[in-house]
Amino acid sequence: MSTAGIVVIGNEVLSGKVEEENARFLIRELRALGVELMRVAIIRDELGEIAREIKAMSEAYDYVFSTGGVGPTHDDVTMEGVALGLGVPLVRSAELEATIHAHFGARVTASVLHMADVPEGTALLGQGTMLHPITRVRNVYVLPGVPEFLRAKFNFIKAGLQDRPIVLRQVWVRVGEDAVGDHLREVLAAVPGLEIGSYPRFDTPEFKVKITIEAKDAALVDRGVAELLQRVPPGDVVRVE
């Protein structure tokens, strides 16, 4: 099972000026792909912080997706941060430079050309299908912060990330977490390898807790549901899906 981390880079998200929607998109996509997301960090446009987070996630997980901080403005320091985090120099990509010249023509400025500076060893993907190709350094995909560009790039990448999806079953009960907490602990002990969640709701009369039972192995999940239903009195069960 592949694992992943997400680094959202941008003071504008932390300050609430721009609502976060890239991590939200990626969370849904990774779930659908069966990739296990281990951590999301929303951090400032600061070299040291970017470098630390990228290094830690790149070493710990199979894939890292960064978003934001790759444009031409003064606060776009993601590429420098990724280079620092992975311990490689920032180098000018001749291919990206040519793409930028072709697009901007006489309007090229130093700021814009800075977008051709990438960590050494960067692979470019998707050339010809999009204006600015996807940049990948080792297992780190360095993606833009503009949501429509991020989505287009991720849709291109995701064919390569397919994994076995997670099987999810759900049990709704009309009793509170206090009544089922011990049962869940027992099911977990009886069927190792499951992931079990319980989510109380107080704004509906229909049920009090939704219990989720998950694993990549459907047989394991079925055993977990059976173990649970042996423990919860039938009258307390609202629905099983």
Q: List contacts with its own copies (CB under 8 A).
A: 11-20, 23-24, 27-28, 30-31, 36-44, 49, 71-75, 104, 107-112, 146, 148, 166, 168, 177-182, 184-185, 188, 195-200, 202-203, 212, 214
Q: Assess contact for 187 and 227: CB atoms under 8 A.
A: yes
How far out from the chain centre does Cα 69 lie?
A: 17
Nearer of residues 152 and 229 to its own copies, judged by Cβ: 152
The least CB distance from residue 76 to its own copies, in Å, is 9
Nearest approach in angstroms of CB 80 to its own copies is 15
Smallest Cα–Cα separation from 150: which of 10, 2, 3? 10
Closest contact distance (angstroms) between CB of 124 and its own copies is: 20
Smaller CB distance to its own copies: residue 19 or 159? 19
Which of residues 136 and 208 has its CB atom nearest to its own copies in the complex?
208
Find the largest Cα–Cα distance for the chain.
75
Rounded CA separation 166/31 (Å) = 8
- For residue 57, the surrounding DSSP H or E stretch is helix 47-60
Residue with tokens 């694993």: 215
Nearer to its own copies, 39 or 174 (CB): 39
